[in-house]
Amino acid sequence: MAEFTMELNDEQKEVRDWLHGFAADVIRPAAAEWDEREETPWPVIQEAAKVGIYSLDFYAQQYFDATGLGIPMAMEELFWGDAGIALSIVGTGLAAVGVLANGTEEQIGTWIPQMYGDPNDVKVAAFCSSEPDAGSDVASMRTRAVYDEAKDEWVINGTKTWATNGGIANVHVVVAVVDPELGSKGHASFIIPPGTPGLAQGQKFKKHGIRASHTAEVVLDGVRVPGSCLLGGKEKLDERLARARERARTGGERVKNAAMATFEASRPAVGAMAVGTARAAYEVALDYAKTREQFGRPIIDNQGVAFQLADMRTSIDAARLLVWRASWMAVNGRPFTAAEGSMSKLFASETAKKVTAQAIQILGGNGYTREYPVERMHRDAAIYTIFEGTSEVQRLVIARTLSGMPIR
């Protein structure tokens, strides 16, 4: 087990500097254009693939970093560049984590490479869990998967929403209900291979922020997939459902569902994304405050501005430490006995919203225009308190974990 440390080792620093250079030289110059276009920045993703950032190997190296700091360090640097483009680059990772968390070794080896493609033929993947009437309330999920034993196929029907890369993905990972009586414990995850009949893109959303990232509905109408596309396999599913039924009957220990396993693994990474956006806005505001003069002196000479910057930096550093702690705990198998994963996501996402708003205030009228990036950063930051569990849901998870009570 790696000791917890607040210092990156030499190899991690080298990777961080490499990512920072890519974010500064490739992502940032393209950010305003793709935000305005509201389209997937395929040229930037391809460039990331060419240098090795958008690849299974890179994310595997960071994911299996024994210190747990590989993924949060990478997320912070890429999202420091631009949240919309960075999400287009890393969005496939959520589907990949879904397969890693629930799939067999064969499924991992078969499907994750197809999610990324190669530098000459870049692909993306989508993780589809939320529905029009089931976001945080996963127990209300309506997408159904029914097993056709005669053909060893699963038949899936339903509509997913808020899916990053939904409809344009080469591989979709879809969470569906297989046993409605078990509520959220009766869910399973399925691979939908490329070109499967019955899967179609629904509405593409025009968003407030992260506009370079494709977000859409995914409609599944009589989609049939082989039994081998059930993540983990049917034997494992049957065993899990049997345990859930027994626990429901006896009031025993609760069982985690497939979607929650994915979200628990990814929440500190989302916190790291928020830290990157907050840090970017803070740095713009700091530079501006040191060079912008009013009444014959830089505005940072005023306590009203200087104290804001001090609070911004303090909150960013505190958020990063929470993210690093949760990431280290996760990779070293330490249980989140105080919901440390949710804590990191909650604090970092709220920090990003607050810091980007403060950055606009420091820049004044300039901050409100698209001539400066803090306006875009503020729009982007709004998503962190919403996706992969709202701030309210994170507080609920933390409160339930601390108290052991079914707080509603």
Catalytic residues: 388
How far is 375 from 80, CA to CA, in rounded Å?
14
How far is 143 from 158, CA to CA, in rounded Å?
4
SS3 161: strand
Taking residue 105's Cβ as centre, other Cβ atoms within 10 Å add up to 7
Chain centroid to CA 244: how far? 28
> Could you tell me if residue 207 is left (phi over 0), alpha (psi between -120 and 50 degrees) or otherwise beta?
beta
DSSP 27: I
How far is 364 from 8, CA to CA, in rounded Å?
36
Map tokens 């912070």 to a residue.
76
Name residue 349's amino acid. S
Dihedral (CA of 205, 262, 318, 54) sign: negative
Q: Residue 142 burial (CB < 10 Å; 0-12/13-18/19+)? A: middle
Query: Radius of gyration (Cα) for the chain, nearest Å?
Result: 22
Find out whether 49 and 100 touch, Cβ atoms under 8 Å. Answer: no
Look at residues 315, 296, 389, 397 and name the one whose alpha carbon lies nearest to residue 353.
315
How far is 232 from 270, CA to CA, in rounded Å?
25
DSSP 176: E
CA distances 55 to 93, 119, 282, 353, Å, are: 10, 9, 30, 30
Q: Residue 47 burial (CB < 10 Å; 0-12/13-18/19+)? A: buried
DSSP-derived secondary structure for 182-196: GGGGGEEEEEE-TT-
Look at residues 364, 48, 391, 401 and name the one whose alpha carbon lies nearest to residue 254.
401
Strand partners, 215: 164
What phi and psi values does residue 125 have, to the nearest 5 degrees?
-130, 165
